[in-house]
Structure 1
Amino acid sequence: MRIDTLAKRLMFNTVRVDTVLEDGTEGSGTGFVVAHQGPHGLRRFIVTNRHLVEGVRSGGLVFTQGRDGQPLIGTRFELEIEEFPHAWFLHPDPEMDLAIVPMAPLERAARDQGVQLYYHDIDTALVPDAATVNGFDALEEILFVGYPNGVWDHVNLLPIMRRGTTATPIGMDFEGQAEFLIDAAVYPGSSGSPVFLYRGEGTAQAGAARAPLYFLGVIAAVFFREEENQLVPGPVPASQGGATVRQSEMIDLGLVIKSQAVVGLIEEYCRRWRE
């Protein structure tokens, strides 16, 4: 497969986050690679949810290997990270469900084992500015990429792409937080999935807010209907083998942390540490 379209590149933006919890159960979630141009140059990070990395006994990231700038489809490399929870930089606000880890030491560790990682990053330049957001409609089509219920093409190491729509306007802060809702099938394992406004290449039109791709945010929670028919948001848990959600029902409303919060977290990290 030639990686010659935007959609194909997005298949290599995510990495699978595999974890073992303190009670011994296994889980999986989603991370993705972001590039940010700061005052000290271009730096890359993996972004995921803090609830995926806190309270974890051990964890690793699953990449596709590359050679000469091309993917070796189906050739897996799992990078185990020592003291997994401590490797991540968490958002200073404990209520903000975001965590990042720099790519540079991960790539060095892979090179030390003779491995080239293959991935495509998302540049923070794709985060829409205020003027662009004002040009968005109340209802927009979205695309998110990840590993719902742990499902993926484990032979070819490819994630699952899913579509949906915004359920609240992107330009509004849902319940006063830097978040918005999507109407989409969000399941355990979708934690940390990047969310895009995606129109496809060749569809851009003149005027504001018409580029083929914008990075909108990160899935962090899903709404459940409890037995008493009360709607409550809860973190999208890591997918766990054999686990089921009991006495509650997901209603296909996902909570997305806005991408501006990802940029803020990266900039805070860059202020504290230089490579």
Structure 2
Amino acid sequence: MSANAMPIEHALVRSTVRLLAGPQGGAATSTGTGFFYQATHPTTNMAKVLIVTNKHVVKGADVVHFVLSSAPAVAALDGQHQPLGRKDQTIVWPLAGNLLSHPDPDIDLCGIDVTIPAGMLIQAGSQLRSMFINSSWLPQEADKVGIRDIEQVLVVGYPKGLWDDHNNMPIARTGTTATHPLAHYQGKKNFLVDVAAFSGSSGSPVFSYETPMYRTRDGSYTPGTKVQFVGIVWGVIEASTSGELKVVEIPSALTSVPVLNTSLNLAIALHAEIIKDLDELVFPGITRSAAH
């Protein structure tokens, strides 16, 4: 297959990475989803590459394991839509000195600086198949007025640790927002998504996804696909055996645990805007620089 312009869906599913976390030199104890995020300083253009996930995915771990796919030219695809000459490299990366945790204990978000391993593959002459999300994927101020209570969404990740390990690819699922994606659900920086979430879904990015028609700012519709980065999955709504509803973290442990509660198939996601706080951790003062 010849190299052609990649559809946006190719980029979305290539933004994520399956994470295994655990002790140095030992077996992994937890699993989750991460996605690549590039923070760029507005004045120096210095860039850092992070894998963004939930704090609870890496809690107590020393290292994370993930797979990077690369090829001489990632746009040159074979008959299975994989880059010709693709190579997969398993990275075991220390968290010490590379973990950036959101300072608010109520916000389950962190970034892992993977600039070095990603850069080493690029410097070796390879192209990374991974797509890096950046702040331009967030809804712009002019777009926010038109965002509706019910939006079609795409959630990409590794539910129950499920993935296509042969091709190093995630699982993509569609659903809708269950509360307004900009409103603070129960007064916190979260919203609900009508998509089932399981162990391994923690850290999954949520994209608004309109195709084959999308609504423009004036309310009319035009052919094409519109995608925006709107959230990061971290929890679920469950009903206990007594009927009490609770917001709980998605379990990340690799060991099986008995299921005593009933899932309502509602995931809870952080507002994607919070990711800008990680920019500030990477480049202190970046918020002030961007304002000028």
Tell me which interval the TM-score lies in, with the shorter structure as reference length. Answer: 0.7 to 0.9
- Cα distance in 2 for partners of 1:120, 1:61 equals 15
More strand by share: 1
Q: For residues 1-275 of structure 1, what are the structure 2 equivalents within 5 Å?
A: 4-20=6-22, 26-39=29-42, 40-41=44-45, 43=47, 44-70=49-75, 71=83, 75-82=87-94, 84=95, 86-110=97-121, 116-200=127-211, 203-207=213-217, 212-238=226-252, 240=254, 243-271=256-284
SS of residue in 1 equivalent to 2:38: strand
Residue type matched to 1:9 in 2?
Answer: A
Listed as ranges, the gaps of 5+ residues in structure 1 are none
Question: Residues 212 and 114 from structure 1, CA distance in 2 versus in 1: closer, same or farther, beyond 3 angstroms?
Answer: closer
Q: Is the 8 A contact 2:154 2:174 kept in 1?
A: yes
Measure the CA separation in 2 of the matches of 1:208 and 1:125: 21
Using the size of structure 1 for normalisation, the TM-score is: 0.87
| Superposed displacement of residue 24, structure 1 | 5.5
Is the Cα contact below 8 Å between 1:56 and 1:85 reproduced in 2?
no
Aligned residue pairs: how many?
Answer: 270
Structure 2: distance between partners of 1:245 and 1:133: 42
Return 264-273 or 4-13, whichever deviates more. 264-273
- What are the superposed Cα offsets for residues 25-76 of structure 1, whole Å, 9 maximum, x if unpaired? 6332111112344322162322111111121143212222222344358742
Name the SS for the 2:275 alignment partner. helix
Equivalent-residue separation in structure 2 for 1:255 and 1:239 (angstroms): 19
Q: Distance between the aligned counterparts of 1:144 and 1:47, measured in 2?
A: 15
Deviation at 1:138, TM superposition (A): 1.0
Q: Specify the SS of the correspondent of 2:283.
A: helix
Higher mean C-alpha deviation, range 216-225 or range 50-59: 50-59
CA separation in 1, counterparts of 2:238 and 2:96?
Answer: 27
Unaligned runs of 5+ in 2: 76-82, 287-292
**What is the deviation of 1:113?**
7.7
Checking the alignment, whether the CA contact within 8 Å between 1:221 and 1:236 is kept in structure 2 is yes
Alpha-carbon distance change, 114 to 136 in structure 1, aligned in 2, over 3 angstroms: closer
1:86–1:37: structure 2 CA closer, same or farther, 3 Å change rule?
closer
Counterpart CA distance in 2 for 1:170 and 1:177 is 12
Give 1:246 shift. 2.0
Q: Is the partner of 1:271 in helix, strand or coil?
A: coil
Instruction: Single out whichever of 22-31 and 3-12 deviates more from structure 2.
Output: 22-31
TM-score for both structures, normalised by structure 2? 0.82
Query: Identical aligned pairs, as a percentage?
Result: 27
Counterpart-to-counterpart distance in 2, 1:239 and 1:161: 22
Q: 1:132 to 1:239 in 2, by over 3 A?
A: farther
CA distance in 1, matches of 2:85, 2:143: 36
Q: Distance in 2 between matches of 1:213 and 1:108?
A: 27
Distance in 1 (alpha carbons) for counterparts of 2:138 and 2:160: 28
| Change beyond 3 A, Cα 1:55–1:106 | same
CA 1:239–1:116 in structure 2 vs 1: closer, same or farther (change >3 Å)? farther
Separation (CA, whole Å) in 2 of partners of 1:113 and 1:130:
40
